[in-house]
């Protein structure tokens, strides 16, 4: 399980480092949580389509993303079949596509 903070360095670079340096043989990366900083202003660039496709390499079982990931990006992850934990869109959160204010995510245990 990895926490990104606001992942300015790119979720792919972040995941690749974890995949290469700390994963066990025949394991996938279990989960990631944080702002993935892909399209925080909903300004989709076609190069992000490759990023969406590339994320599948890591086999995440649970993806918890929030505000700076971008709603559009979270929806593209969902459309691609990635296990994105959706939010409630409560407490002034903008959309259910990602986790927002007051939402919970559990890794290894149910919350």
C-beta separation of 52 from 84 below 8 A: no
Whether the per-residue pLDDT at 111 is higher than 70: the answer is no
pLDDT digits (tens, 9 = 90+) for 58-110: 999 999 999 999 999 999 999 999 999 999 999 988 899 999 999 999 987 66
Phi and psi at residue 65, to the nearest 5°: -120, 160
Question: Domain boundaries in the chain?
Answer: 2-79
The whole-angstrom separation of Cα 51 and Cα 66 is 17
Task: Quote the pLDDT of residue 72.
Answer: 95
């Amino acid at each position: 399980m990895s926490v990104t903070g606001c992942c300015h360095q790119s979720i792919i670079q972040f995941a690749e480092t974890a995949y290469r340096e700390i994963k066990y043989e025949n394991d996938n990366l279990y989960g990631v949580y944080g702002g993935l900083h892909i399209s925080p202003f909903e300004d989709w660039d076609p190069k992000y389509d490759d990023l969406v496709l590339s994320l599948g390499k890591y086999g995440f079982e649970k993806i918890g993303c929030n505000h700076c990931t971008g709603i559009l990006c979270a929806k593209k992850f969902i459309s691609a079949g990635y296990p994105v934990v959706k939010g409630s869109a409560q407490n002034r959160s903008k959309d259910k596509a990602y986790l927002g204010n007051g939402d919970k995510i559990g890794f290894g245990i149910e919350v």
